[in-house]
Structure 1
Amino acid sequence: MQAQAPCLLIPSSSTEPGSDAGAPEPAAFRVDTPAPPAAGAAAEPAVSAAAERATSPIAEPVARAAHPGWTASLLAERQAADLRQDLARFGVGVGLAALYGLALGARQGGVSLVQHAAGVPAAMVAVACLGVPALTIVLTLFDAPLDPSRALSATARAAAATGLVLGGLAPAAALFVVTSGAHETAAIMGLIGLAVGGVIGVRVLLHDLGAVLRPDRGPLTWSGTTAALLGFAGFAVALALRVWWGTLPILKGGAL
């Protein structure tokens, strides 16, 4: 059997005499051509793909990373000194430290709440007002490139770090001091929290002040500035303990 080639019937363009010119073409001879795509049809997939990438879970961490949180902004190191921001940051640290004082005063309640809320940040204020200016003067004598604005910025950042630690420990401190049966246990737990916050604050302060010191100024200058920083650390710890011992009734068994 021989294969037959398919025949394609093409309608004639001429109209037979007597035929109806307005009659539609037979279905067998009508060829339907697809309609051209709309002008914006090709752009819709690209727009939808871009929208999916913008709302995808991978893009969310990137967007959040571009906007640092409140804690990161509070502890961020600033190149240019800003008196208003530094004072605000110092005030936030003092306020958070006062929360820890309220937690310690919850054991006795009443006036003890006010005493502890004022006594805990009092040590931070004492170190900032007495210790930091003296350290700045000593470092200047050793030709350290340290100006008062830099010292204020470092002090504010250290106060914010101390306040964040103490504020975070406040709920646990309140639980321990309220549920402890012995006054000595409550005092020890409260003092541990104060020590942790104070050490972290002094460390941040020494780090920021020591960042401006360069060993290329000579071994005598480097040794003198290092000794000054270590001496300040000991002075800050002793001063803070003295202020806390004199203002916090919980460290004396509840009696002021």
Structure 2
Amino acid sequence: MEAGIPDPPEPRGDAAAAPPAGAAAAPAAPGGHPGWTAALLAERSPALLRDDLSRFGVGVGLASLYGLALGARQGGVSLVQHAAGVPAAVIAVACLGVPALLIVLTLFDAPLDPPRALSATARAAAATGLVLGGLAPAAALFVVTSASDLTAALMGLLGLAVAGALGVHVLLRDLRAALQRDGGLLLAGQGAALLGFAGFAVALALRVWWGTLPILKGGAL
């Protein structure tokens, strides 16, 4: 201490542990664990076959809940028909549409391998199942209390359309991101292939649902 110059006051209490002014703006580390829904839809790297199949199975199971809700209008065997018919469209698009899309994309030298396509398909199925599972209670209420078969069919089809559109959106978004991440810009042929797949997926899902869901046939008559 020099003569005539007082020493600076020593920090006490919480002031000694206070971070610098610039560090105060840094966000704190998040605590806890992600929820089940977030974990189900999260993109995992590297993608594991077991995890993708498990995620796909969860999506199919949740879609069956929506089928049970639709079958509640007639009950009995209709419950089984609808529980199997709703996820049948998801399985058909995954088993028929996605492999066909991969074959078309290879013609345009698209940098997309089957594991990434499987991971994107599993996430899309999970997203579709989550929407259908969430809409299942409301769908059951509408189809059971509706006085008109046509109204019940339209409400059931509306839920299927919303979930199906979201699933196709998630699938195309993941596939497009995979193409761009590998440095391959989406050429006109690749973009046309993805757009054509979207139309094919919608047509195939509607065809499967029309052929397997009695509520849609009854509502159309």
Normalised to the residue count of structure 1, the TM-score between the two structures is 0.72
5 Å-filtered alignment, 1:6-21, equals none
> Where does residue 93 of structure 1 map in the other structure?
59
Contact 1:108 1:254 in 2 (8 A): no
Contact 2:116 2:178 in 1 (8 A): no
Q: Would you say 1:177 and 2:153 are equivalent positions?
A: no
Q: Could you tell me how far 1:141 is from its partner in structure 2?
A: 1.4
> Where does residue 20 of structure 2 map in the other structure?
none
Alignment partners' CA distance in 1, 2:190 and 2:126: 25
Q: Would you say 1:244 and 2:209 are equivalent positions?
A: yes
Alignment partners' CA distance in 1, 2:110 and 2:36: 32
> Where does residue 92 of structure 2 map in the other structure?
126
Larger relative contact order (Cα-Cα within 8 Å, sequence gap ≥ 6): 2
> Where does residue 229 of structure 1 map in the other structure?
194
Alignment partners' CA distance in 1, 2:47 and 2:107: 22
- Structure 1 residue runs without a partner (length 5+): 1-44, 47-60
> Where does residue 109 of structure 1 map in the other structure?
75
Q: Would you say 1:195 and 2:150 are equivalent positions?
A: no
User: Residues 182-229 of structure 1: CA distance to partner in whole angstroms, max 9, x if unpaired?
Assistant: 0000000000000000000000000011112249757xx610000000
Contact 2:150 2:220 in 1 (8 A): no
Contact 2:150 2:219 in 1 (8 A): no
> Where does residue 62 of structure 1 map in the other structure?
30
Q: Which has the higher helix share?
A: 2
Q: Could you tell me how far 1:120 is from its partner in structure 2?
A: 0.0
5 Å-filtered alignment, 1:18-57, equals none
User: Residues 17-60 of structure 1: CA distance to partner in whole angstroms, max 9, x if unpaired?
Assistant: xxxxxxxxxxxxxxxxxxxxxxxxxxxx99xxxxxxxxxxxxxx
Give the counterpart of 2:102 among 111, 129, 136. 136
1:62 is paired with a residue whose SS is: coil
Pick closer, same or farther for the CA change 1:102–1:203 going to 2, 3 Å. Answer: same
Contact 1:126 1:240 in 2 (8 A): yes
Contact 2:127 2:167 in 1 (8 A): yes
Q: How many corresponding residue pairs?
A: 196
Amino acid at match of 1:78: R
> Where does residue 212 of structure 1 map in the other structure?
178
Q: Would you say 1:77 and 2:77 are equivalent positions?
A: no
Alignment partners' CA distance in 2, 1:217 and 1:243: 34
Q: Point out the structure with max Rg over C-alpha.
A: 1
User: Residues 140-191 of structure 1: CA distance to partner in whole angstroms, max 9, x if unpaired?
Assistant: 1111110000000000000000000000000000000000000000000000
Contact 1:144 1:212 in 2 (8 A): no
Query: Identity across aligned pairs (percent)?
Result: 79
User: Residues 54-94 of structure 1: CA distance to partner in whole angstroms, max 9, x if unpaired?
Assistant: xxxxxxx9322xx1111000000122120000000000000
Alignment partners' CA distance in 2, 1:213 and 1:95: 30
Alignment partners' CA distance in 2, 1:255 and 1:228: 33
Alignment partners' CA distance in 1, 2:190 and 2:179: 8
